[in-house]
A = this chain, B = another copy of it.
Amino acid sequence: MILEAFGEPLVMREMEIPPLEKGQVLVRLSASGVCGSDVHQRNGEDPRIPLPIILGHEGVGTVADLSGEKKSVEGDRFSPGDLIIWNRGISCGECWFCTVAREPSLCPDRRVYGINKSSANPPYLNGCYADHVILENGTDIFRVDGDCDPAVLVSASCSGATTAHAFDMIGDSLAGKTVVVQGPGPLGLYAVAFAKKLGASRVVVIGGSRNRLELCTEFGASLLLNRHETTVESRREALLDMTYGRGADIVVEATGAYGAAVEGIRLLRKGGTFLTTGYSQPVGTEEVDFYRDIVAKNATVQGVWVSDTRHLSQALALVTGNPRLFEKMITHRFTLDKANEALDVMENREAIKAVITF
């Protein structure tokens, strides 16, 4: 399913599978996640997208063929039929960000399946809205052992890994902490799950959808604050009440909505940390009172951009440790030919998570 023009539906095309070059892996897709950013990409709102392109950066599949020897991150040799998941980004491994800063997700040459790899360039099968994808040499791949529904795993490679990245940047233990999550979508659900998994005592979720909020309870949230039934001020009061007047130790912004950052920072206790993961598209500027909300509170504001293999590893451990929980996140399943419908239910927010299955 190829995006040939922004704002237009994806179109079904037949493509030849090219011969594999050394180090490449041909993958038969089992499931392909539909991410909120795919919607923005179809609409032409993401400047990274070349045309034509096979969208889809969240894939899980089985090894169909491979050229030469290729090992998993854990050191296993692959055999045809192995179920795999991979880091959606490929970094150069040699630049200052990859080697000195050790932050491969900041590599200026980072390429991402389904995002900045056009289907016009070899090896053409560069996105996950397709029967097959070819993983180029340098892709970091995990083999998934055991019996796990591929559809449940796909989100680990994007919203899961990005949320893992956020929590990985907190220098302190979460033991006994109070965490606020803004936005009960896939990023927010992962934030609830990670906060609980890493030791938080209480997780408060702010959101506007009753269904999504209730799902957060199953993920471990202890307090839900519905934006339609509360005000910015009443939410802040509720939080202060439960924290001896201090505020949240950690706030995870997972909406990208205008105003979320300003509300989130104000919910922090003195010395607290604000992790912002949701702003994946421009929404303009917000008004920050540095003196009152950052300096006098000794606050940390941490931007979190995408993720790397380390984070996928953490997200994968989280999901495979409790697949039944994460299955609840998937509200819609489609076949590949219905990819446009899958994008539609994400766009109109009918779905929490839609997955294309094969």
Contact = CB atoms under 8 A, between A and B. Distances in A.
A298 B102 contact: no
Given A276-B290, A287-B285, A303-B300, A167 B173 contact: yes
Interface stretch (A25-33, A227-235, A312-320, A332-340): A312-320
A271 B97 contact: yes
Contact of A295 (B174, B271, B304, B317): B304
A164 B172 CA distance: 13
Nearest to A70: B94
Contacts of A291: 256, 279-283
A167 B171 contact: no
Interface of A: 71, 73-76, 87, 93-97, 99-106, 108, 138, 140, 164, 167-168, 171, 173-176, 194, 197-199, 201, 244-246, 256, 261, 270-271, 276-292, 294-305, 308-310, 313-314, 316-318, 321
A305 B103 CA distance: 21
Given A99-B140, A138-B94, A173-B167, A296 B305 contact: yes
A321 B201 contact: yes
Nearest to A170: B173
Contacts of A74: 96, 244
A279 B290 contact: yes
Contacts of A245: 75
Nearest to A102: B102
Given A95-B73, A140-B94, A271-B97, A295 B303 contact: yes
Contacts of A71: 94-95
B285 A289 contact: yes
Contacts of A284: 289
A296 B286 contact: no
Nearest to A23: B94
A310 B201 contact: no
Nearest to A167: B173
By Cβ-Cβ distance, the 10 closest A-B pairs, closest first, are: A176-B317, A294-B303, A99-B309, A285-B287, A175-B314, A301-B301, A279-B291, A295-B303, A298-B305, A279-B295
